[in-house]
Structures are given as C-alpha cells and as structure tokens.
Amino acid sequence: EDIVEITRLIFEHNPSATIRPHVMAKIEKPSCFYGNSLHEIVKLCDGIMVARGDLGVECAPEDVPILQKQIIDECREQGKPVVVATQMLESMIESPTPTRAE
C-alpha cells in the first residue's frame, strides 16, 4: 500500500518528469514474507534494501540469513537491484563480539 501511495504522489506532483525518482522499499518486517507479499513488493518498486538489523529484531536472528537470501533471490528473478544493509565490517573493526545482525 505504501509503495502504491508514494508512486501515486510522485506522479501527481511531478506528472511531466522525464526522469522520475526511484522508489526503494526497506524490508524490515516478517509480514513481507506472508503469501505473495514479497513478490508484489519487489514488483512495485525500483529496488529493495534488506535491513538485516531490523529483521534480526523482528525475527529470530538465525532466520535472518535465510530471509535475506529469499529477498535477494526474488530481486534477482525480477531484475531489481538489492542492497544489503549491515554494519558487519565496521563492527568487526571496533568490537570483538558480533552485533545482532551478524
């Protein structure tokens, strides 16, 4: 619903734009995995960001890599860019223990 709304607002406020802003969805909740939701979300936007830390709070931490792979696979199937957001490398420099997303 949010993606449809933002797309509508972009076209409403910028109808004659030759280059429209791209819409990226941030996947951070397990609700995007219910039914056909992930497929539809990827289809409606121009790209996806996987919020590993937020998924680790909302889901079991051990499920995050599996969910991340599902998102990446769906994006690849639809030819959409996907960004995996994590602070893994930074935290590895500063802390001897992994963060919840790691």
Residue 21 in this model has a pLDDT that exceeds 90 = no
Are 80 and 46 spatial neighbours (Cβ–Cβ below 8 Å)?
yes
| Alpha helical stretches, state H, the chain | 2-13, 37-44, 52-58, 64-78, 88-94
Sign of CA dihedral 91, 97, 100, 102: positive
Residue 19 in this model has a pLDDT that exceeds 90 = no
Q: What is the pLDDT of residues 35-63, one digit of tens each?
A: 999 999 999 999 999 988 888 888 888 89
Average pLDDT, the chain: 86
User: Confidence class of residue 88 from pLDDT cuts 50, 70 and 90?
Assistant: low
